């Protein structure tokens, strides 16, 4: 991200009133920069020749507002910031000789990148959008952290009293340009004057017009440090104001409290009203640069009204301080598209899924017909942000809904392990691998399985995996045994992603010995040995969990995903979203179990009372509700972290959610079973099957104990970092 003065995205002819003497400029620049002038439509100009391009910034022509357009100050600050590595374009020269082009000007590096004129950041994905907003806030905080004295700007500003000066300057500027009486502006000015913060002593560098469209973002990337630092902030898309404040405070290393927030909101609106009035006045004088300057006159009064509203907001806010972000339901709002899809999924479940479930209590396999209906309704592959356009947070709400019935995810082509495998292929697959496997998976034409766990080694430590990988000419040869390969028994399962190992005997290579390889299920040497049961049941709804032998299985070298030794990297990418989907489904399942519990407690009588009238049962109901809400918030928080910071940044939240969801769902279903008495363990209600499923959650995708150890490790690391940051 680079903080720069504004430039138009498109080069347009120089406006008549902005034209200057190009020959003079060329003469002046010869020996300094060789540049050819190509005008732009505002006081910032692109200079280009065969060697490169530069940017010229000058004062606008005509009578100017008091203390506005001080390009000499801009240049000086930019120089100071550039010296300390702050992301501004390199300032190159300043010309005070007004005879050259009519005003003072300076020239700086031309930075290439993305400028978003539309603050909704069209073209950026939901994840990227949130990250870009957060990056902007981080840069702002970084600017405010600059030590003015240390960068040589001591004495530059006027020191303490910033708020008082701001109110007075903007009042004067507004009055100098006002074309009619607007009482709201006067009232706002009076309120600000009479309500200045008592402690108005802080001095920092202030960018007078810090907005997203005054920033240049990297052409393609979001800064790596931004993605990582989002882990704690967990902003959504676009991030909520409280989130941005929390991130700002953290980056400035100040307590998460913003005193007199209402004053600053009102001041911002007042300044905007003043700016709008200034632009309109320049339009009346005929030297406005904005093409729609004539419209600004109409926005002055509404802006002042907004400022007056701002007075009534809380006197101070504590982003992430007075209340944890997770407690604010706005943090987990879906995008409009996400809400629309959730509604559609709910309606689909009501019309096509729940009625089918009653035919054969949660056991009816997903019918092709219902799957086709879901697909026709556009409810297909919703789990994959790149395909569905939904964020993880959007999909988390949908996964909760589909979690209420065992076979529902399959109807929407959102069933594990295919979802994780599709994610792997989408993120890491070659074009050929995508064409051959991802596309038919996305169309729902084939199924897949994921072969990581092995019978002979403790697989919760993935470095133990033994299944071997050996190169032989233009082929890989795989030998080993896997088990718990879910879905492998389905007749539609056509491909396995197999975690294999190329042993190096060097302990430093432990995490670089494993690779993931695509193995078509019909390859010679792949043998399904036996299906495994879960609590004695075959659990065959998605094709069963199989033990598989790989005996001299040969595949082309091009079947490796990402490259040799990249298995762990892929596993990290795969497991984040997959775990999130499991957990949100567990929340939906727990909701369903609580529903059944309450129905039973309300209709069954023992010892002269309805079950719920026994206090112990009433308390169970309350405890289940609390546990579900807690887990949902934790899970949605993990979804937001994933959206904003990616899998690496969301690791701790994902691990916490994974442990909490399995435990919570087991507890809720167990209580529902208890309330049902013997019926609870029968097939008349889906609770026994629900229990079997949620109990496996505490083992599958890594047992609770392993996650607890890694949460503790990350927590200790974070705590120690905080301590060292304070020192």
Ligand X SMILES: Cc1cc2nc3c(=O)[nH]c(=O)nc-3n(C[C@H](O)[C@H](O)[C@H](O)COP(=O)(O)OP(=O)(O)OC[C@H]3O[C@@H](n4cnc5c(N)ncnc54)[C@H](O)[C@@H]3O)c2cc1C
- Give the residue with the Cβ less far from ligand X, 188 or 516: 516
Closest CA to 398 of 386, 163, 384: 384
Contacts of 132 (CB under 8 A, 6+ apart): 116, 121, 124, 212, 217, 222
State how far the alpha carbon of 595 is from the alpha carbons of 87, 299, 571, 681, 687, in Å: 55, 52, 36, 17, 11
Q: How far is the CB of 461 from ligand X (least distance, A)?
A: 6
Smallest distance, ligand X to C-beta of residue 691, A:
13
Identify which of residues 533 and 606 has a Cβ nearer to ligand X in the complex: 533
Q: Which stretch binds ligand X (CB under 6 A): 294-302, 433-441, 457-465, 573-581?
A: 457-465
Nearest distance from C-beta of residue 674 to ligand X, angstroms: 23
453 binds ligand X (CB under 6 A): yes
The interface region with ligand X, picked from 144-152, 454-462, 514-522, 628-636 by CB under 6 A, is: 454-462
Binding piece for ligand X, criterion CB under 6 A, among 171-179, 546-554, 565-573, 703-711 = 703-711
* 459 lines the binding site for ligand X (CB under 6 A): yes
Question: What residues between 534 and 593 interact with ligand X by CB under 6 A?
Answer: 534, 545
Q: Is 705 in the site for ligand X (CB under 6 A)?
A: yes
**104 within 8 A of 95, measured Cβ to Cβ:** yes
Rounded Cα–Cα distance for residues 105 and 12 (Å): 20
Contact flag: residue 710 with ligand X (CB under 6 A)? no
DSSP code of 238?
A: S
Closest approach of ligand X to the CB of residue 436, in Å: 21
CB nearer to ligand X: pick between 348 and 484: 484
Least CB distance to ligand X at residue 526 (A)? 15
Structure tokens at 500: 């294999």
Nearer Cβ to ligand X, position 335 or 696?
Answer: 696
Binding of residue 699 to ligand X (CB under 6 A)? yes
Integer Cα distance of 382 and 391 in angstroms: 9
Instruction: Determine the size of the site formed for ligand X (CB under 6 A).
Output: 22
User: Binding residue for ligand X (CB under 6 A) from 452, 634, 641, 688?
Assistant: 452
Select from 93-101, 153-161, 164-172, 448-456 the region that touches ligand X (CB under 6 A). 448-456
* 522 Cα distance to chain centroid: 39
Contacts (Cβ under 8 Å, ≥6 apart) of 350: none
Residue 427 binding ligand X, by CB under 6 A:
no
- DSSP structure class, residue 683: S
Distance (Å, whole) CA 272 – CA 287: 19
696 binds ligand X (CB under 6 A): yes
The residues, any chain, with a CB within 8 Å of residue 236's CB and separated by 6 or more, are: 130, 243, 331, 332, 333, 391, 393, 640, 643, 644
Best CA proximity match to 337, nearest among 409, 390, 285, 378: 390
Residues 78-102 as b/e (b if ≥16 CB within 10 A, e otherwise) read bbbbbeeebbbbebbebbeeeebbe
If binding is defined by CB under 6 A, does position 484 make contact with ligand X? Answer: yes
- The site map against ligand X for 407-426 (x = CB under 6 A) is ----------x---------
* Member of 46, 540, 706, 714 binding ligand X (CB under 6 A): 706
Report in angstroms how near the CB of residue 701 gets to ligand X at its nearest: 6
Binding positions for ligand X, rule: CB under 6 A: 417, 450-453, 458-460, 484-486, 534, 545, 696, 699-703, 705-706, 709
């Amino acid at each position: 991200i680079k903080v720069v003065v504004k430039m138009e995205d498109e080069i347009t002819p120089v406006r008549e009133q902005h034209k200057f003497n190009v020959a003079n400029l060329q003469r002046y620049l010869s020996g300094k920069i060789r540049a050819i002038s190509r005008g732009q439509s505002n006081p910032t100009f692109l200079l280009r020749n065969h060697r490169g391009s530069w940017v010229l910034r000058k004062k606008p022509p005509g009578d100017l507002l008091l203390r506005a357009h001080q390009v000499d100050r801009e240049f000086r600050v930019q120089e100071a910031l550039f010296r300390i590595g702050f992301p501004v374009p390199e300032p190159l020269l300043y010309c005070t000789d007004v005879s050259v082009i009519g005003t003072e000007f300076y020239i700086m590096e031309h930075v290439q990148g993305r400028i978003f004129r539309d603050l909704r950041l069209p073209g950026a994905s939901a994840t990227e959008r949130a990250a870009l907003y957060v990056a902007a806030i981080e840069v702002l905080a970084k600017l405010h952290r600059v030590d003015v004295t240390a960068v040589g700007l001591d004495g530059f500003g006027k020191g303490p009293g910033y708020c008082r000066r701001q109110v007075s300057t903007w009042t004067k500027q507004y009055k100098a340009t006002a074309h009619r009486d607007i009482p709201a502006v006067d009232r706002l000015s009076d309120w600000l004057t009479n309500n200045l913060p008592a402690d108005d002593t802080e001095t920092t560098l202030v960018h007078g017009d810090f907005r997203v469209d005054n920033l240049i973002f990297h052409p393609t990337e979001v800064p790596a440090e931004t993605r990582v630092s989002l882990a704690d902030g967990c902003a959504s898309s676009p991030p909520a104001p409280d989130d941005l404040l929390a991130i700002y405070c953290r980056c400035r290393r100040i307590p998460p409290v913003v005193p007199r927030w209402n004053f600053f909101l009102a001041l911002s609106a007042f300044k905007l009203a003043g700016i709008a009035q200034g632009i309109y006045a320049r339009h009346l004088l005929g030297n406005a640069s904005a093409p729609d300057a004539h419209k600004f006159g109409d926005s002055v009064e509404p802006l002042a009204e907004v400022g007056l509203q701002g007075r009534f907001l809380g006197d101070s806010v504590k982003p992430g301080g007075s209340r944890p972000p997770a407690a604010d339901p706005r943090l987990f709002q879906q995008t409009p598209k996400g809400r629309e899809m959730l509604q559609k999924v709910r309606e689909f479940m009501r019309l096509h899924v729940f009625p089918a479930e009653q035919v054969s209590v949660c056991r009816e396999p997903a019918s092709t017909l219902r799957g086709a209906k879901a697909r026709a309704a556009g409810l297909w592959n919703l789990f994959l942000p790149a395909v569905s356009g939904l964020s993880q947070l959007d999909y988390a709400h949908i996964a909760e809904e589909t979690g209420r019935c065992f076979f529902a995810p399959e109807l929407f082509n959102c069933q594990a392990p295919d979802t994780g495998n599709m994610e792997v292929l989408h993120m890491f697959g070659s074009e050929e691998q995508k064409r051959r496997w991802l596309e038919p998976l996305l169309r729902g034409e084939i199924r897949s399985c994921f072969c990581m766990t092995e019978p002979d080694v403790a697989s919760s430590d993935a470095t133990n995996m033994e299944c071997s990988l050996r190169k032989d000419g233009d082929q890989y040869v795989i030998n080993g045994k896997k088990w718990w390969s879910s879905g492998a028994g389905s007749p539609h399962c056509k491909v396995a992603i197999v975690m294999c190992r190329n042993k190096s005997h060097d302990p430093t290579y432990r995490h670089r010995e494993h690779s993931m390889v695509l193995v078509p299920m019909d390859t010679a040497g792949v043998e399904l040995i036996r299906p495994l049961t879960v609590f004695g049941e075959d659990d065959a709804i998605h094709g069963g969990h199989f033990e598989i032998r790989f005996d001299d299985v040969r595949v082309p070298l091009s079947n490796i995903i990402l490259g040799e030794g990249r298995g762990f990297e892929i596993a990290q990418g795969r497991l984040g979203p997959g775990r999130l989907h499991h957990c949100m489904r567990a929340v939906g399942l727990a909701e369903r179990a609580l529903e059944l519990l309450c129905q039973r407690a309300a209709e069954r009588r023992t010892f002269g009372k309805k079950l719920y009238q026994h206090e112990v049962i009433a308390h169970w109901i309350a405890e289940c509700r609390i546990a579900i809400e807690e887990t949902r918030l934790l899970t949605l928080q993990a979804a937001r972290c994933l959206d904003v910071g990616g899998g690496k940044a969301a690791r701790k939240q994902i691990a916490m959610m994974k442990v909490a969801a399995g435990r919570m769902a087991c507890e809720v279903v167990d209580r529902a079973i208890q309330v049902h008495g013997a019926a609870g363990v029968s097939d008349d209600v889906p609770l026994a099957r629900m229990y079997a499923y949620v109990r496996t959650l505490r083992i599958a995708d890594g047992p609770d104990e392993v996650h607890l150890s890694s949460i503790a490790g990350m927590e200790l690391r974070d705590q120690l970092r905080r301590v060292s940051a304070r020192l």
